[in-house]
Structure 1
């Protein structure tokens, strides 16, 4: 697996990584979207999470969905907030403390690999980030590894056409599309 120097990784030189300034600007923009239009709440409601589930918010960014996810899965459920950016992990930890979220854990991913066990999650969702993934086959294989046999992977197009999202999923060979909505694509192994 190709390894990038840490200094290059967060300099913003590629699609997957962004500078700290870029991350902070994205966080501010997302916060404004939520204040003005409630974007995160509306987007989250379409996921259909249930009490007691284990879910992975892959590419959690500034942790905009983890409060909703924590409430949805309840005290018997678990939320893993995964990201490749150290500032994202810091934001998750801040939000865990601020909201007293006892069922949420921050997980740092190296490239696409997480330290989580295989078949950990009932649901893995990747919202507004798939367009940034440079190696979709590797990424989707990791999501497939993380989801339980009957589990669901939910992928939002992000800033790419739906046809591109579908093409990447089909080319991976590890997932089958089971449902398309206006907001996202649901897949299974």
Structure 2
């Protein structure tokens, strides 16, 4: 058991290193802006990893907004907390989860889900959780470079609970219906 945990921790650290490189070439603010996040919004960053989008999102929503950083890995959440503390952000809260967030129904303005779904076992349950927490007519901003455009649109719209609103490069914004 400990061997798997150590491997998992090592995997997370390696992934975090590559995210730093990715962020130099593809600044997270670009995806945050494509997600139509506004000042004062309440946002769920699902699969937040080391917090690249969480930190930039927290800046974008300002002190009157709130961003929930959700991830399965405790090291990810520790990293997000440290980064938030370093910037003196009080508008970030972490959630450790594989699916259910514990957030109130219809409490979220925007869910961002970038490069996560391909690596999950319970993707339909996660999609239903997004629908549950999103306010009416709110946005699910989705990008997963492991999925084709057709796979992405089919997956998100197949349950009849989201419809495609707009595509911005390879990032898709869906509206809760």
> Normalized against structure 1, the TM-score is what?
0.84
Residues 98-119 of structure 1: CA distance to partner in whole angstroms, max 9, x if unpaired? 111111111111x211111111
Equivalent pair of 1:137/1:171 in contact (CA under 8 Å)? no
Unpaired runs of 5+ residues, structure 1, are: 1-6, 13-17
Number of positions where the alignment pairs a residue of Structure 1 with one of Structure 2 = 175
Contact 1:130 1:158 in 2 (8 A): no
Offset at residue 130 of structure 1 (A): 2.2
Please state how far the C-alpha of 1:172 moved relative to its aligned partner: 2.9
Say which SS state the counterpart of residue 52 (structure 2) adopts.
Answer: coil
Query: What residue is the counterpart of 2:42 in the other structure?
Result: 54
Matches within 5 A, 1:31-46: 31-35=20-24, 37-46=25-34
Residue-by-residue CA offset, 1:49-88 (whole Å, 9 max, x unaligned): 1111111111100101122111111111111111111111
Following the alignment from structure 1 to structure 2, what is the Cα–Cα distance between the partners of residues 90 and 29? 18
CA distance 1:89–1:161, change in 2 (3 Å): same
Q: Which consecutive unaligned segments of at least 5 residues does structure 2 have?
A: none
Report the Cα distance in structure 2 between the residues aligned to 1:187 and 1:135, rounded to whole angstroms. 20
SS in 2 for 1:188: strand
| Consecutive aligned runs of 4 or more in structure 1 exceeding 4 Å deviation | none
Q: 2: CA distance between counterparts of 1:40 and 1:169?
A: 23
What are the within-5 Å matches in structure 2 for residues 1-189 of structure 1?
A: 7=1, 11=4, 19-35=8-24, 37-109=25-97, 111-189=98-176
Q: Tell which deviates more after alignment, 23-32 or 128-137.
A: 128-137
